[in-house]
Structure 1
């Protein structure tokens, strides 16, 4: 219980202390008109209330990642909690804040456009390809995972005989509608209700463990286990843990989602709550599920058996119904299922907007929205036929690589404006080393090199990129600062 409470307190403290510091480094301007006002089109640029924008942002970024990732990360033991806290406060929330606020300062631009502005056209084209691939992988993961979970729920608890294919078709149908209709019609209207279910799921499950006579919150682990790799499958902690637990610590997918709410936020002063705060909220979800995985099964060996017998979805199913009974289990389970669905639809929506920016095609017309969206759904439908495990492995690497590029983009922005770039450069260096070491060492996805050589290549590459970013950013701040701080109209009071 102690480590769980300390972890939650550290996340909350990080929001108020480090989040405030990051906000001061960025330097908000409450007098600037946000894109929601300056470019209101009634479709993607729509002013919404701050609580609604926060809840939508949280549900956009919190797919199965902060649940499945921490469950898989729990196989390493309590060390996973340490990474979630440190990663969330100093890397993930910083990443989300800058991906959102730089979009606000750049007329609601998507992440490839932002990357191009601060790192050059080469980086922009690379990011366009990477972002679309990532979003398609996310869309597929967030179709397959909830479809499998809903099929299991309907057949096990409802006595029905529904195929996974039927669920996939139903979810895709919803995604198509949510991708093309105005953002405030479905996403802005229903997501706050989903948020209430999410809160019930998170608080209800961890409370149930605390009052359970059969389970104790991390009662079987010692303090020393926080710094020990307990993985029963002999998986190395470095760098795999930092790829396995992405959402909840740091996730590049969030960089593709933050511009959606940057187009709806009324004032820059709300940025810390909406972007930094939503990531802290996701970190809390990740802590809860990592703790549940470690506590409900009693040991990493028992957790490993549960994962092998049905994946992380089986862990969710077993713990939800085991702790809350049938009725509570259904509500908690549905709370988990909603997360990937509310992220999958916005993944396709982001893909549509990124493509529209690339081809310079307005999106106020329904026909043009369909022209961008339909090909994406065709490709997504084809990818659902690929094994989920393969998709998830590629998603993890693509996700963290995208986060790394966004951190370098934010570092370049701060360098150009003579601000404290180290708040982005340090996590960018770390995540660059992680990603390159992982792909160099992994025999399935990468090159299968020894870990020492892989890590060395990662460190050298990170230092070389640091030198490059410093070089391209030097002496380019004054003009862009003037452009960004030119008000388009007076913002409304919040």
Structure 2
């Protein structure tokens, strides 16, 4: 089969979702209203609450939720076969991710920009709030600690990516100042992209690296510390100064990358060499169901999206109706990235024959980011004629910048959670932005170096929990949205069905992993996995109690 067929069917499906299904959900279910005063206007403080152009906000939201996850997940999950991966990405984007992300934006905006954990107190109950926020903090801790390691590893392995990665920050600072002074967005975007890609080209000739040992630590460990110092500073800056323009530029860079990859598919029309359903899996390979649905999270549906939507994006929403553009279209963009990742790692660009493909994908977890960069670079070379080395650098920088923007937003979100704890429990010291940021960064570094020693790789120890924990969080977010809709006497079936499906898949995946961790005698993961599973059950029971009580009160009033 030619990859162009997969691309056409997937894109058409997601576009139908955008033009029809998202309009229906926005108008008939969420009832988005331009007259509603968003928190960005009501609480405008020039730092976190800032009314933002929906295109710029889309760039921030898209790149913050994307990270490297919509590349890593699909590039691993294709091991089970490209058909289940494509189906979950396309249908997940249309009916799960788009509704989840738009709904989280809407729910948070209706509660003064509170995070999903904080607003769950008024929607479900105070007990659920504390439980909810534990899961959110755990997910953020995983993401920040691991993405710091991922970027550091990339800087060590790809010194050509260091110069363009830091140049992107300088470009973003300049653009932030120009946007503040009302400069036209389109010319700035064009100039910013040109400078960014010029830095990518220059990076090929200016490899930058740290000494192998410095201050008694390896180069990777020093990069981790530098990255968290940067993330701490970035999280305290006003969103218009760095976060928005950095994410916007990265969003535009992704559009260029998607244009190159999708264009290469139409020009080269490569065949698919991966099996539709892989029948030659290794003996110890876990079952496709439920593991597929937690392996591909970003690109189908992801709880981390709800944290970003309710943590930073809702505070910048200019109009409530912008939630459809930012949330649903952001999910479509991520679905497109996941789809082209599947094509890049499934075709002749990566492996010329089915036999070669099976050599690359010898077991679950093989391939991943390296397969995407190799397959994508060969695909671009075949379609556009660009040198493979330059194409590889483009894709490597794209992965690094995405991971960086997610880390930027992740530390800021951790700071919000800690400040919310300060408000909830009346701990004045935690209400300070500086103190909350220091606590957030300290916990990440404590995990990185406390569990991983001088290598700084401690975050990888709890990373295996991310898949099921992240999807359980997505189901909890959909639950909060559903309870809000029920209380408003609106149809909740469009969020309850995705919630139930994701919860069942994630819960059973968590049970499978719990057994796996126990047999491996990894008791830290056993404990954390058990905590997440128990918390999710308690929140669901609390929500069911609230819904039942509300229904009884309705009947009594009638």
TM tier, smaller: 0.7 to 0.9
Name the residue aligned to 2:59: 55
Task: Please show how residues 212-227 of structure 1 align to structure 2 within 5 Å.
Answer: 212=268, 217-220=270-273, 225=276
1:252 to 260, 281, 303: 303
Name the residue aligned to 1:488: none
1:372 to 422, 436, 443: 436
> Do the aligned partners of 2:418 and 2:440 also contact (CA within 8 Å) in 1?
no
Name the residue aligned to 1:421: 492
> Do the aligned partners of 1:93 and 1:275 also contact (CA within 8 Å) in 2?
yes
Task: Please show how residues 243-392 of structure 1 align to structure 2 within 5 Å.
Answer: 243-259=294-310, 260-295=312-347, 296-298=349-351, 299=354, 300-305=357-362, 312-323=368-379, 324=381, 325-360=388-423, 368-384=432-448, 385=452, 386=457, 389-392=460-463
- How far off its partner does 1:71 sit? 0.5
> Do the aligned partners of 1:320 and 1:333 also contact (CA within 8 Å) in 2?
no
After superposition, the Cα gap between the structure-2 partners of 1:446 and 1:54, relative to the gap in structure 1 and judged at 3 Å, is farther
- How far off its partner does 1:64 sit? 1.1
Name the residue aligned to 2:222: 166
SS of alignment partner, residue 418 of structure 1: coil
- How far off its partner does 1:167 sit? 2.5
- How far off its partner does 1:57 sit? 0.7
> Do the aligned partners of 1:429 and 1:466 also contact (CA within 8 Å) in 2?
no
- How far off its partner does 1:297 sit? 2.7
> Do the aligned partners of 1:416 and 1:475 also contact (CA within 8 Å) in 2?
no
- How far off its partner does 1:472 sit? 4.5
Task: Please show how residues 177-256 of structure 1 align to structure 2 within 5 Å.
Answer: 177-212=233-268, 217-220=270-273, 225=276, 228-230=277-279, 232-233=281-282, 234-256=285-307
After superposition, the Cα gap between the structure-2 partners of 1:131 and 1:472, relative to the gap in structure 1 and judged at 3 Å, is farther
Name the residue aligned to 1:105: 110
- Matched residues in 2 for 1:307 and 1:155: separation? 29
1:470 to 547, 552, 558: 547
> Do the aligned partners of 2:64 and 2:247 also contact (CA within 8 Å) in 1?
no
* Structure 1 residue runs without a partner (length 5+): 449-456, 478-494
> Do the aligned partners of 2:483 and 2:543 also contact (CA within 8 Å) in 1?
no
SS of alignment partner, residue 31 of structure 1: coil
- Matched residues in 2 for 1:180 and 1:447: separation? 43
> Do the aligned partners of 1:439 and 1:447 also contact (CA within 8 Å) in 2?
no
* Structure 2 residue runs without a partner (length 5+): 162-203, 211-218, 382-387, 521-532
Name the residue aligned to 2:17: 14
Task: Please show how residues 110-125 of structure 1 align to structure 2 within 5 Å.
Answer: 110-125=115-130
Name the residue aligned to 1:71: 75
Task: Write out per-residue CA displacement over residues 295-347 of structure 1, whole angstroms, 9 at most, x where no aligned residue.
Answer: 233445144149867x5232233234434422232122211211111011111
Of 299-308 and 173-182, deviating more is 299-308
> Do the aligned partners of 1:248 and 1:286 also contact (CA within 8 Å) in 2?
yes
SS of alignment partner, residue 444 of structure 1: helix
- Matched residues in 2 for 1:106 and 1:120: separation? 14
Task: With the length of structure 2 as denominator, give the TM-score of the two structures.
Answer: 0.76
After superposition, the Cα gap between the structure-2 partners of 1:188 and 1:475, relative to the gap in structure 1 and judged at 3 Å, is farther
